[in-house]
């Protein structure tokens, strides 16, 4: 059972997709380890931001929590109920309480249905509303909440702008009265000016409806604005988790420090002096992840012992949880990043050495 303060708890969750080959009969020759042993908890009424490079497993994790993608192993608890072992009928009833906002508002909406039909479908499926007038009242209140006019009910998705279509997607999620919403890159397909409006709308809905969010994004500025807790994923696993302010003020994992060093600072003097960390090579293949610490092939602080042989556990350090053998030594300045010629790195991604460009920096000037 889960704690009373957590709406969602995830324990050692894994999602492995088989790789098959064969002309007549397919045979499994390997697995893509999209999510590989994730533990996290989302407090009730809070926002958990999940960040990381493309291909690190963020979206797969979000879909697995809702069982839109079947987990390979592990457990997911929603309000004390185990979702992973739930049968079809109780799972369908539970889906009213957990909904999803998709990245592309156009492809996630049926172009042959008008807005009223899109929003009515979920209400009918879950038996919400005693009559058509009652359902129209619920839909009308939802449109008001997301900032859409009532005349939108008769229109089709192609008649709206990108921001308006995303508001329809948000309305489809909140019309059922859910407690948890998984928002998968909810603003990445929108113009910057519209992104701010949608983020503010999500904030307002959380405050008025008491929603709990899992927000998946790659934009660190968006995650910082909306999140109470931030988790950083790398190659299918969490490498750091901390309260938002703490993570942005003092990142502890080398990968998080590299991400933060890429965020521009509006002060030109600090921007010129702060440390910049450039990671050599691409993200390794999740079908053949490195042994030991998965980040060691690109880590500027990788050591000859432990890093390549022993996978670090996600362990508590102060308010944070960090998966790094040397996090305390790095934070204390006892270990310095390697100075390596980028020409020495191998293009196949095996045995990469990190390329680091360092400049004088001030403590805490990563963001």
Provide DSSP, 325-340.
Answer: TTHHHHHTTSS-----
Question: Residue 2 has what pLDDT?
Answer: 45
Name the CA dihedral angle for 223, 252, 359, 224, rounded to a multiple of 10 degrees.
10
Element (H, E) at 119: helix 115-125
Closest CA to 17 of 39, 40, 6, 33: 33
Return the exposure string of 260-280: e unless at least 16 CB atoms fall within 10 Å of the residue's CB, then b.
bbeeeeeeeeeeeebbebebb
Long-range contacts of 160-163 (CB under 8 A, 24+ apart): 161/194, 162/105, 162/106, 162/189, 162/190, 162/191, 162/194, 163/190, 163/191, 163/194, 163/197, 163/198
pLDDT in tens, the chain (367 residues): 444 689 999 999 999 999 888 777 788 888 899 999 999 999 999 999 999 888 889 999 999 999 999 999 999 999 999 999 899 899 998 999 999 999 888 888 999 999 999 999 999 989 898 888 999 999 999 999 999 999 999 999 999 998 999 999 999 999 999 999 999 998 887 888 888 899 999 999 999 999 999 999 988 888 888 999 999 999 999 999 999 999 988 999 999 998 887 776 666 766 666 667 777 777 788 888 999 999 998 998 988 889 999 999 999 999 999 999 999 999 998 888 875 434 333 334 344 333 333 333 333 333 3
Based on its alpha-carbon atoms, the radius of gyration of the chain, rounded to whole angstroms, reads 22
Question: Residue 252 has what pLDDT?
Answer: 94
DSSP 139: H
Across the beta sheet with 27-43, the strand order is 27-43, 6-21, 73-78, 81-82
Q: Where in the chain is the domain with CATH 3.40.50.300?
A: 6-227
Question: Residue 270 has what pLDDT?
Answer: 65
**Are the C-beta atoms of 144 and 171 separated by less than 8 Å?**
no
Closest CA to 292 of 351, 232, 231: 351
Return the exposure string of 232-250: e unless at least 16 CB atoms fall within 10 Å of the residue's CB, then b.
bbbbbbbbbbbebeebbeb
Question: Residue 358 has what pLDDT?
Answer: 35
Question: Residue 350 has what pLDDT?
Answer: 41
Greatest CA separation for the chain: 70
Distances (CA, A) of 260 to 69, 199, 324: 31, 21, 17
Q: What sign results for the dihedral spanned by CA atoms 232, 97, 14, 71?
A: negative
> Which pTM was predicted?
0.87
Q: What sign results for the dihedral spanned by CA atoms 309, 350, 299, 11?
A: negative
Residue 34 tokens read as: 């999209």
User: How far is it, in rounded angstroms, from Cα 283 to Cα 322?
Assistant: 20
- Determine the straight-line distance between the first and last CA of the chain, rounded to whole angstroms: 38
**Are the C-beta atoms of 214 and 65 separated by less than 8 Å?**
yes
Question: Residue 267 has what pLDDT?
Answer: 64
Question: Residue 345 has what pLDDT?
Answer: 39
Name which CATH class applies to 6-227: alpha beta
Question: Residue 36 has what pLDDT?
Answer: 92
Q: Which residue, chain included where needed, has tokens 């409806």?
A: 209
Q: Which residue, chain included where needed, has tokens 């807790």?
A: 229
Within 13 Å and on the Cβ side, how many CA atoms surround 175?
Answer: 33
Residue 273: alpha-carbon gap to chain centroid: 31
DSSP 361: -
DSSP 289: P
Residue 169: alpha-carbon gap to chain centroid: 18
DSSP 133: H
């Amino acid at each position: 059972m889960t704690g009373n303060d957590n709406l969602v708890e995830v324990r050692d969750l894994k999602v492995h997709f088989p790789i098959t080959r064969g002309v007549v009969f397919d045979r499994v020759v390997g697995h893509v380890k999209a999510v590989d042993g994730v533990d996290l908890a989302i407090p009730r009424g809070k926002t958990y931001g999940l960040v990381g490079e493309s291909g690190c497993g963020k979206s797969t994790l979000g879909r697995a929590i809702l069982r839109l993608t079947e987990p390979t192993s592990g457990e997911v608890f929603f309000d004390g109920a185990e979702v992973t072992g739930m049968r079809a009928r109780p799972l369908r009833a539970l889906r009213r309480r957990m909904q999803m906002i998709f990245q592309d508002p156009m492809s996630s909406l049926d172009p042959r249905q008008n807005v009223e039909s899109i929003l009515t479908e979920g209400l009918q499926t879950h038996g919400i509303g005693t009559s058509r007038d009652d359902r129209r009242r619920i839909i009308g209140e939802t449109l008001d909440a997301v900032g859409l006019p009532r005349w939108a009910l008769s229109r089709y998705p192609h008649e709206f702008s990108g921001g308006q279509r995303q508001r329809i997607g948000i309305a489809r999620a909140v019309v059922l009265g859910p407690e948890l919403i998984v928002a998968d890159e909810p603003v990445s397909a929108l113009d910057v000016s519209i992104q701010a409006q949608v983020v503010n709308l999500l904030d307002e809905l959380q405050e008025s409806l008491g929603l709990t969010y899992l927000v998946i994004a790659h934009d660190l500025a968006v995650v910082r604005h909306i999140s109470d807790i931030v988790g950083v994923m790398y190659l299918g696993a969490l490498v750091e988790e901390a309260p938002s302010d703490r993570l942005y003020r003092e990142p502890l994992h080398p990968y998080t420090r590299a991400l933060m060093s890429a965020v521009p600072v509006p002060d030109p003097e600090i921007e010129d002096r702060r440390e910049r960390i450039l990671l050599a090579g691409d993200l390794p293949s999740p079908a053949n992840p490195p042994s030991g610490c998965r980040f060691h092939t690109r880590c500027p602080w990788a050591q000859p012992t432990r890093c390549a042989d022993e996978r670090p556990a996600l362990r508590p350090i102060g308010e944070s949880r960090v998966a790094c053998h040397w996090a305390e030594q790095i934070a204390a300045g006892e270990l310095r990043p390697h100075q390596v010629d980028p020409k020495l790195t191998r293009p196949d991604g095996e045995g990469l050495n990190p390329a680091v460009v360092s400049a004088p920096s001030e403590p805490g000037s990563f963001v």
